[in-house]
């Protein structure tokens, strides 16, 4: 088994350690990710089992309804405001983290670009990645 994925927010109030490999890693150019990241897209690693995640600190949560109709929860640090995680109430076992919250963001290996149709000309992502106009099915 490879090393755990560790990371947290900018101020250190929130830390996590995940002993698993991500199920899916994606750059998402949807409007919600643009607003939340303050730039053209968000970069995420999604892990399959909540029980593999050790989380310390108290994230503040904000729920929004995505275009899929599912509730997406934004988990961020109430002290420094860094976005850290996204629990999904529709799929409570999945646990998604922001790539740049990793201690070693170089471990992020994007596999696809989602909501590419919403992307801006000034936000170029890796041209070799498969692109989806929305979320890929399944």
Does 112 participate in binding Zn ion (rule CB under 5 A)?
Answer: no
> Near Zn ion by CB under 5 A, which window of 8-16, 67-75, 90-98, 102-110?
8-16
Does 125 participate in binding Zn ion (rule CB under 5 A)?
Answer: no
Question: Cα separation of 110 and 122, whole Å?
Answer: 19
Site size toward Zn ion (CB under 5 A) is 9
Question: Cα separation of 92 and 118, whole Å?
Answer: 27
Does 71 participate in binding Zn ion (rule CB under 5 A)?
Answer: no
Q: Are 25 and 111 in contact (CB under 8 A)?
A: yes
Backbone φ, ψ for residue 79 (5° rounding): -90, -55
Interface residues with Zn ion (CB under 5 A)? 9, 11, 13, 28, 30, 33, 77, 79-80
């Amino acid at each position: 088994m490879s090393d755990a994925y560790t990371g947290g927010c900018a101020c250190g109030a929130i830390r996590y350690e995940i002993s698993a490999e991500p199920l899916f890693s994606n750059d998402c150019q949807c409007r919600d990710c643009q607003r939340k990241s303050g730039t053209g897209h968000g970069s995420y690693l999604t892990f399959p089992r909540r029980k593999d995640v050790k989380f310390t600190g108290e994230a503040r949560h904000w729920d929004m309804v995505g275009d899929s109709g599912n509730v997406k929860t934004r988990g961020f640090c109430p002290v420094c405001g860094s976005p850290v995680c996204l629990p999904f109430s529709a799929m409570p076992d999945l646990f998604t983290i922001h790539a740049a919250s990793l201690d070693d963001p170089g471990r992020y290996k994007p596999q696809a670009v989602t909501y590419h149709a919403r992307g801006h000309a000034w936000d170029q992502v890796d041209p070799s990645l498969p692109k989806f106009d929305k979320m890929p099915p399944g």
